[in-house]
Amino acid sequence: MRCAVDIEARDVEEMYINIDPIQAGGRLTPEAMKAAISFGDGYSVCDNCRNPPRLDYIKNPPIAQYHADLAAWLNMDTARVVPGARRGFQAVASTLVSKGDPVILTALAHYTEFMAIEAAGGIPREIPKDEKNHITPDAAAEKIEAVIREFSRTPPLLFVDHVDYQFGNVHDVAGIIKVAHQYDIPVLVNGAYTVGIMPVDGKALGADFVVGSGHKSMAAPAPSGVLATTNEHAARVFRMTQAKGDVTGRTFGMKEVEMMGCTLMGVTVVGMMASFPHVRERVQHWETEVAHSQAVTDALLSIEGTKVLSDYPRKHTLTRIDTRGSFDMVAQRHKKRGFFLASDMKKRGITGVIPGSTKVWKYNTFGLTEKQIRHVGESFVGVAQDNGLNTV
């Protein structure tokens, strides 16, 4: 079925259980889907934009209130919606980083953190991970010292991922921030895999900035996200324009430079807002989500030769698995080669395993029902048994 001339309607979520590692937390709620139907038109939230003409002042729909609610929910002082976490990174880096400044991030950092630093003219320096794929406060301290030695100055910013995208491991962010603050280095917490799916308390972490992704973890349309900060940094990062046209003499009121004026002017912000009550509630059930993740991981580990590369027991729903000793052995003799796994899983109604992946790959179980979790686990085991692998 097509929704336009050459665009097939997407029915992936209706037809399959989707365990794609990046899509799980961004699936819309029914409320967001209804909001998308209603607010799909371009500048749809601007019907009631009054003075000052800025997104975070709009009262109908209640965007102003949503901004206040977002900040309070993250236990930060101020928040803005942004077009994806990456634009939050960019706003902060653009504000704090000058050309040639060293900026610290981690060996597990998302590429968009590198891009944000590069765009600001900064020089990235990585805190190495340890043998357990963790970023530790000690490693952060060592890196800060090394960077100060190398550049003869303190980095203006440190990025740390609350949960990294490679292993889905939870890092000691509070410990790392404590170390960074001893050097007066502000810290941006990348909560793309935490904000909206598990409880996040910015003040408890000691964060200067908390960035979340609407389309990755807040059940919102893309591109959407949140940048929250403290009173200490808000005036700088959310500074208002001083620009004036030399010919026209025009000025631009209260528009915020790093936000490029307004950010999410339609379906994205309303989708975030519509999902927010559900999102706020669902983070309280994180333990159930972790238990689901554990159940699928255990099913995979019951297949001889399979190893989990993420922390075990699981503490997150994103998991990196090594099936070189199991499914990849099948791939070497299977007529579909490495594509057999995704193909066989799809026949069982499960999608999200990257076609061709049988060595090291990831999955995310967030948001699935109990019944769906059982089906995923049984399907992995079933595919293994059908292809002659031993299970225990």
Partner 1 sequence: MSKRAVDAVFQALFLLSDIRFLLRETAPQHDLDEAEQKRAAATLEKVKRQIAVIEEELVR
CA pseudo-torsion sign 257, 258, 260, 262:
negative
- Of residues 313-352, which lie at the interface with partner 1 (CB under 8 A)? 348-350
Region from 30-38, 81-89, 229-237, 296-304 binding partner 1, contact rule CB under 8 A: 30-38
| Residue of the chain from 369, 385, 386, 390 that contacts partner 1 (CB under 8 A) | 369
Q: Which of 101, 97, 103, 88 is nearest to 120 (CA)?
A: 97
| Least distance (Å) between residue 37 CB and partner 1 | 5
Q: In the complex with partner 1, which residue's Cβ is closer, 22 or 308?
A: 22
Q: In the complex with partner 1, which residue's Cβ is closer, 70 or 376?
A: 376
Q: In the complex with partner 1, which residue's Cβ is closer, 33 or 381?
A: 33
Residue 68 makes contact with partner 1 by CB under 8 A? no
Q: In the complex with partner 1, which residue's Cβ is closer, 17 or 341?
A: 17
What's the angle, vertex CA 316, arms to CA 313 and CA 321, rounded to 5? 65
- Chain centre distance of CA 299: 26
**Residue-level length of the chain:** 392
| Residue of the chain from 133, 263, 319, 372 that contacts partner 1 (CB under 8 A) | 372
Q: In the complex with partner 1, which residue's Cβ is closer, 16 or 151?
A: 16
For residue 201, the tally of other CB atoms under 10 A from its CB is 14
Q: In the complex with partner 1, which residue's Cβ is closer, 15 or 235?
A: 15
| Least distance (Å) between residue 33 CB and partner 1 | 5
Residue 80 makes contact with partner 1 by CB under 8 A? no
Region from 12-20, 155-163, 278-286, 297-305 binding partner 1, contact rule CB under 8 A: 12-20
Residue 282 makes contact with partner 1 by CB under 8 A? no
Q: How many residues bind partner 1 (CB under 8 A)?
A: 17
For residue 299, the tally of other CB atoms under 10 A from its CB is 21
Residue 375 makes contact with partner 1 by CB under 8 A? yes
State which H helix or E strand residue 102 sits in: strand 102-106
| Least distance (Å) between residue 30 CB and partner 1 | 5
CA distance linking residue 157 with residue 325, whole number of Å:
42
Residue type, 176: I
| Least distance (Å) between residue 384 CB and partner 1 | 19
For residue 270, the tally of other CB atoms under 10 A from its CB is 27
| Least distance (Å) between residue 29 CB and partner 1 | 8
Residue 40 makes contact with partner 1 by CB under 8 A? no
Contacts of 219 (CB under 8 A, 6+ apart): 25, 26, 27, 28, 29, 32, 196, 271, 275, 278, 279
Q: In the complex with partner 1, which residue's Cβ is closer, 11 or 287?
A: 11
CA distance linking residue 326 with residue 311, whole number of Å:
20
State which H helix or E strand residue 292 sits in: helix 286-301
Q: Give the count of alpha carbons within 13 A of 48, CB side only.
A: 9
| Least distance (Å) between residue 345 CB and partner 1 | 11
Region from 26-34, 70-78, 142-150, 325-333 binding partner 1, contact rule CB under 8 A: 26-34
| Least distance (Å) between residue 15 CB and partner 1 | 6
The three-state secondary structure class of 158 is strand
Q: In the complex with partner 1, which residue's Cβ is closer, 19 or 262?
A: 19
Residue 288 makes contact with partner 1 by CB under 8 A? no
Q: In the complex with partner 1, which residue's Cβ is closer, 28 or 303?
A: 28
Is there a contact between 162 and 175 (Cβ–Cβ < 8 Å)? no
HEC readout, 170-215: ECCHHHHHHHHHHCCCCEEEECCCCECCECCCHHHHCCCEEEEEHH
Residue 16 makes contact with partner 1 by CB under 8 A? yes
| Residue of the chain from 3, 9, 37, 247 that contacts partner 1 (CB under 8 A) | 37
Is there a contact between 301 and 308 (Cβ–Cβ < 8 Å)? yes
Residue 38 makes contact with partner 1 by CB under 8 A? yes
Q: Which of 161, 215, 171, 168 is nearest to 191 (CA)?
A: 161
Residue 15 makes contact with partner 1 by CB under 8 A? yes
* List of residues contacting partner 1 (CB under 8 A): 13-17, 27, 30, 33-34, 37-38, 348-350, 369, 372, 375
